[in-house]
Amino acid sequence: MTERQHSETATASVARDEFLRDPASVLRRAETEGPIIIRDSNGNPTAMVSAPRDEPPSVG
Amino acid sequence: MGDLDRFRRCQEHLALWLRSSLTGCHFATSFSSTKPLKLDYCTPISEAIDLAAIAGFIDGTATNEVVAVVLFPSVRTPADLAHTLVTLSGDPRWQLGEEIWLAPWPLSSGLTDEWGALLDALEKVRSFRRQELVGGEPAMVDDLIRDVARIVRHRLGAA
């Protein structure tokens, strides 16, 4: 398994149809669960959404 | 580095850039200093940009009252950017149009070149943004163009 495949496997997923039905609730999920990959009907990733609320590292 | 790590790095860079005041946008600086910083991100993964997913993402962030950011980490060249913009314009909510780029700070050092740049910027305002001027602003711009043109002519004559 490549690094990319491992990373995608470890990340939560949601079906594209489910995301399009209620994107707001998926985004609220992403706040607590981390990045969520949107997958089409064949299981292929089309996009990733994330809602990080932690502080980014400071400059320098 | 895996793609997801790269996306996370892009998000961090964007948040830092907004917070650094380098954008020159007071709203961005003020908003990005709020804690926690409420930015939601959407990043296309597949080769074909999923327009419906991006539209749904923007609607979802609006419902949650969070700022939406769509990141395209794979864009590397002007051609990539043009391709992305053209693809996005396939959705009615995105619009492509030709805009005149107005210099925000054409005069800072007072050198002759910059007076010329200021004159150019003012003439572009008069030519392309005149309909947005209100009250006495059109006359004010005309006066400024006349005065700045006089300064440029004087400086060129003195050189």
Which one is predicted more confidently, B1 or B18? B18
d(CA B19, CA B130): 34
Please tell me which of the candidates A28, A47, A58 has its beta carbon nearest to residue B53. Answer: A47
Tokens of B108: 């800072």
Contacts of A55 in chain B (CB under 8 A): 35-37
Q: Which CATH number does the domain housing residue A40 bear?
A: 3.40.1620
Which one is predicted more confidently, B124 or B23? B124
From the list B59, B25, B17, the residue with the least C-alpha distance to B42 is B59
d(CA B6, CA B2): 6
Looking at chain A, which residue has its C-alpha nearest residue B46? Answer: A46
Strand (E) or helix (H) holding A47: strand A45-50
Residues of chain A contacting B, Cβ within 8 Å? 3-4, 6-8, 11, 16, 19-20, 22-24, 26-28, 30, 35, 37-38, 44-59
Question: CB-based contact (8 Å) between B136 and chain A?
Answer: no
Domain that includes residue A20, residue range: 7-49
Q: What digits encode the pLDDT tens for the residues A20-60?
A: 999 999 999 999 999 999 999 999 999 999 998 876 555 54
Give the total number of structural domains in chain A: 1
d(CA B8, CA A11): 13
Q: Is residue A37 part of a domain?
A: yes
Q: What is the pLDDT of residue A60?
A: 47
Question: CB-based contact (8 Å) between B72 and chain A?
Answer: no
* pLDDT tier at B139, thresholds 50, 70, 90: very high
Give the DSSP per-residue string, B52-104: HHHHHHHHHHHHHT-EEEE--TT--SHHHHHHHHHHHTTSTT----------S
Sheet holding A12-15, edge to edge: A12-15, A36-39, A45-50, B39-44, B67-70
pTM: 0.68
Q: What is the pLDDT of residue B2?
A: 56
ipTM above 0.90, yes or no: no
Instruction: State how beta strands A45-50 and B67-70 pair.
Output: unpaired
Q: Is residue A21 part of a domain?
A: yes
d(CA B19, CA B30): 8
Strand partners, B41: A50, B69
Q: Is residue A55 part of a domain?
A: no
Query: How distant, in Å, are the alpha carbons of B68, B97, B131 from that of B59?
Result: 9, 23, 32
Contacts of A26 in chain B (CB under 8 A): 60
Please tell me which of the candidates A23, A53, A57 has its beta carbon nearest to residue B36. Answer: A53
